[in-house]
Structure formats: structure tokens, C-alpha cells
Structure 1
């Protein structure tokens, strides 16, 4: 349970980094963040979210939190995925500016001041895009190019590199965005209904030094499904009952056509059957949208229960270690 700190105690920037089996890199990542921010933004906080690692990642995070009060560590009791980890860090963040990035050393913490500078200029979101990306072409770069093009076409916001985790946000622009599944990559797109200002910033990208990539083909399929959900969120953000109204209107039309068919007799039954089939198809689409809406609401409820699956450490005592509950 969080205690409200005085405004003067708020950090200037909250840096949020998920970690999954990153025992070899997490210490170096912390050092790079300190080197990058100490000279320009010393009053930062670093929130490291261990997404159910099976190695010593969280033990190292605890050591970092003991020696540096700016570090807060969170450990999930099981693996939930990158979006859930980011959502937890965002919820805990206290600063007016939030920065997200990976802790595997592929994102460069030295680029954080560039993105923070864009937020200070008045933008709501500064989205990094990887220059000279250090990944395999067929398995990572090519799918990314296709996905970014498709996301831009579907959402209407042509971000060059939706998959780049290194982004900066004004707190009020991100804390209102619902995050489920793999939706962290769609945050700029889901912010469209709020009329936010988005700027893109070229950032460095490094080859992975330790471990193996956590991305697989299964995640690609999930991203495409999430894209459909994001389209629905954007379309129905201001009209959440549209899908139910559409289904109801279609049902009324089916009833009218059926009554008309009974009056026309066998002669008009063929045309009526075609019309009814089309209406039923439309109703199915509307009901699917309604189902997605209900599923999102349920995920939101489940996300609110996430503290039951977390252990938190840090020298500031604004967070109670839920492991003792």
C-alpha cells in the first residue's frame, strides 16, 4: 500500500524496466542508467520489475535497492509478460515523466535524456525508433517492418518502430491507457482518443550480450490479435455501447424481414433467406466486438488484483511487502 509522499519528494523522472532472467545484465544496466542520468537528472527513480525470473535476477535487484534508495524492485511470483511488467511499473511510478526500456542492454540508457528533453518541450509521448537495429533480418527486422506498416494503416498513427521499448511519456498521458496482453507496443496508438502529441526520436540499438531473446512466433500472432483489439478501443472509446446497439438493431431488422417473408409466401423466400443471412453475419460481428469489450473489462479487473502476485523491495517504505500478507 502506497503512502502519499510530499510533492517535493517526487523524482523528476521514473525509469521503468522489465526483466526476465537477466541476472547477467541487470547490474550493468543499473550502472548505465546511473552514468546516463546522474549528471543531468540525478533525482530519478528506477523501477525494476522481475517478471517471474528463475535465475538470480531479483536477488541482484534487492542488492541494488539496498545500496541505492532510488531503486525499487518488484518481483512477480510467475511470468506474466512484458506488458504486465510495464503496467506495474507505470502504476508505481511517481514522477511527472516516465521512461520505459528493456533491461537486456539492447536499448541504450544514454538515450534517455534525449527522450526526456522532448517531453520537456511539450510533447506527451517521445517514441524511440532503433537506428541500425542489431537483429536478424528474416526473423526480427522483416516482420517488424511489416507489422509497423500494418499497425500504422489500422490505427492511423504511422509510428516507425512500435516494438521499440525505449519511450518517454508524460505521466497523465500513459497512466490512463489500459495495458493488457502485448499492448505496451500500442501505447501511442491507444492514446489517440486523448489527443496526445507524439514525436519520434532516433535511438541506438545494441546486439544482445547475454542470454537469448524472449520473443517467438507465438508473440507475433498475439500482436496481430491485439491490433484488432486496439482498433476496437480506438473506435469505441467514446461510444462503448455502440457494439451492443448495433447487435440489437440487427436483431430488430431480422425480425422485420422474417415477418415480411411470412407475408410474401414461398415466392420471396429465396431473397429473404439471403437478406437474413447477411443480417445474421452483421450481428455476429457486433457480438464479437461486444465479447472483446467484455474480455477487456475482465482483464482490467484481473490486472487490479496483481499485487497478490508481487513482492516489492526498496529502501523507501512507501510500498508494503505484499509477501507478508
Structure 2
């Protein structure tokens, strides 16, 4: 790597069956990036396409040394494809976008301007969406509103792939499942400075969309995962313990009520309040189980962080004279020729 020239920008674009769109996107990308006058690279990721996408990418690669092609063995999904591109990219600033021409490369300079202003992550905001209002727009607005409330990040559009990141921010985030939509929330938990810029949302020129209502349902399930990761990944007992205390407490209260009626009114509890007694037992046992799950979660979290030497914090920068002081102290301790 030492012999390679430095790269200022990396453009990461995942593809899945987009053979018709690739040439046009490549031409627009190079036109925009050449105009910036900074060294850049393009990382195209073929996510197991079944059409001729890889052959088109391979032809572009043969004619342009700035182009890199990462080919996955099968279709792993957009999150995995983006992660593969992020891992391969070596630019100081990484821009990700879709490969279906719904994102206009001409808008990339807007993202880079905000990065130069000091932001760590710049997210696109599809102000006027052109998707189907029932299956895409309404569920998306609901999910974005809920994600903004849960994460505390005031963005209007979490789901768009069109984003710009500082390299150190995006490569610190572990992506899996469908978490690429929630990168701003995950980055915000590490203290990243985040903003958004309005972008156009164009109609797909050709090819078939790979999104449907099923993916919208999975997004809402992922919201639960992200909320847990943001707030409780390092302290799971705080989550499960509260549920356990609530369940056990409710079971104890019901049990005390039944004991009072038995002792004071001499009621045949099993005959008159049998279901209530079973409910008290179930609440108490489930509460104990939740607390046990929290304790197991605490043990697993500590094992995970300690075994991988993984910090529970993220540094922005460090300024220290430690090395200078160490060097001067070492030279002060080193004996001179007359002392040996």
C-alpha cells in the first residue's frame, strides 16, 4: 500500500442486476469527479448479479485504472455489498450511492462541501419522493420519524444510500443484516457530527426495482434492533432487568392480594381465584427469567468487549506530549560516555 498514491475520495456503488444503468452512471461519475480536481477512486460492488452486470464492470475496469470492482460470491444484500465496498475503499472521504440512476452524481459536490465544513457524515434527503405513496412513501415517513425519535438524530431520511462519510467514521461501524439504513443512528452514538442535504429522487430509467413491501416490514423490525444496540448493547440488564422487576413485582402484588383474601376472608383461592393465582405465578417466573436473561447478557457483553479488546468509546482526536516527554526522559536517563 505504501507505493500507492493517496486518494482523497472513494465512490462506493453496489449493483444487483443493473447492466443497463452501469455505463451511464460511470460516465456521469467520472465527469463530476474529474471536475473536482482531486484524486479519487470508484469502487463498484457486484452483489451476485445474475445478468451481465459483472461483464460490463469488468470492461470498464480494463479501461480505467481508477475503477475497482469487488465481486461477491452471491447476492448477500445491500448492507453486505456496501460493507465490502467500505472495507476496500481507501479514500479520506467515502461517498455511497445507488447504481440505478435514481441518485444524480452531479449532487456529490454538495455532500463534499458539508464534509469540508467539518461534518463527519452527510446524508441525502429525498424531499420530493417519486415512489409509490402507499407501499413506499407512507411507511418510509413513519419509519424515518420513529428512527429520529428513537436515536435523537434529527434527519428526515435515514434510508437513502446517498451519503458521504469520513473514512474513520464509517469503518468503525460494524454492519450486518439490514443496518445500512441506520448508519446515521449508529454513527451518532459514537459522537459523529451529522447533517443532511436535499437531493433529487429520480425515476428509475431501466431495470426492475429490488424493493417491496416485505422490506418495509423488515425495516420496522430493524428499528427494534437499532434501539437496543444504541441504548442497551453494553448494559443489557438495564433493559431485561426492568421488564423482570415489573413482572416479578406484579406477580408478588397479585400473590399478596390472594394471600390477604385467603387469610382474612378465608376464601378458597383456587376455587374462586384460580386463574389469578396462575397469572401471579406466571408473572413472577417470567420476571425471574427476564432478570436472568439480563445477567447472561451482561456476561456476554463483557466477554465480547474484553476478548476483542473492543473499546466502549470512540475518539475524535488526541493531542499529547507523551512521546516527546518520553523521548526526553529516556535521553535524560541514558548515561553519557563518562558515566559508563
Conserved 8 A contact 1:193-1:234: yes
Question: Shift in Å at residue 114 of structure 1?
Answer: 0.8
Structure number with higher relative contact order (C-alpha < 8 Å, ≥ 6 residues apart): 1
1:113-138 Cα shifts (integer Å, max 9, x gaps): 11011111110110110132222222
**Higher mean C-alpha displacement, 222-231 vs 133-142:** 133-142
1:115 equivalenced with 2:111 (yes/no): yes
Q: 1:54 maps to what in 2? A: 50
Are 1:136 and 2:136 counterparts? no
Residues 290/228 of structure 1: CA separation in 2 closer, same or farther (3 Å cut): farther
- The Cα shift of 1:53 comes to 0.5
Counting only pairs closer than 5 Å after superposition, residues 84-95 of structure 1 correspond to structure 2 as 84-95=80-91
Q: Give the whole-Å Cα distance in 1 for the aligned partners of 2:296 and 2:198.
A: 39
| 1:205 and 2:201 correspond | yes
Question: 1:233 aligned to 2:238?
Answer: no
In 2, Cα distance between equivalents of 1:65 and 1:220: 35
Task: State which structure, 1 or 2, has the greater radius of gyration over its C-alpha atoms.
Answer: 2
TM-score normalised by the chain length of structure 2 = 0.74
Residues 288/186 of structure 1: CA separation in 2 closer, same or farther (3 Å cut): farther
Q: Equivalent residue for 2:189?
A: 193
Q: Deviations over 1:166-221 (max 9, x none)?
A: 10011111111121111111000112221111111011221100011100121112
8 A contact 1:50–1:76 mirrored in 2: yes
Q: 1:132 to 1:41 in 2, by over 3 A?
A: farther
Match of 1:157 in 2: 153
How many residues align? The count is: 286
The 1:169/1:282 distance shift into structure 2, 3 A limit, reads farther
Deviation for aligned residue 1:18: 0.6
Q: Counterparts of 1:108 and 1:27 in 2: how far apart (Å)?
A: 14
CA contact (8 A) 2:135 2:212 kept: no
Contact 1:154–1:231 (Cα < 8 Å) also in 2: yes
* 8 Å Cα contact 1:13-1:41 kept in structure 2: no
Residues 192 and 234 in structure 1, CA contact (< 8 A), matched pair in contact too: no
Query: Of the candidates 273, 277, 284, which is equivalent to residue 282 of structure 2?
Result: 277
TM-score for both structures, normalised by structure 1: 0.77
**Alignment pair present for 1:31 and 2:27:** yes
Cα RMSD, aligned residues only: 3.3
Residue 67 (1) aligns with residue 63 (2): yes
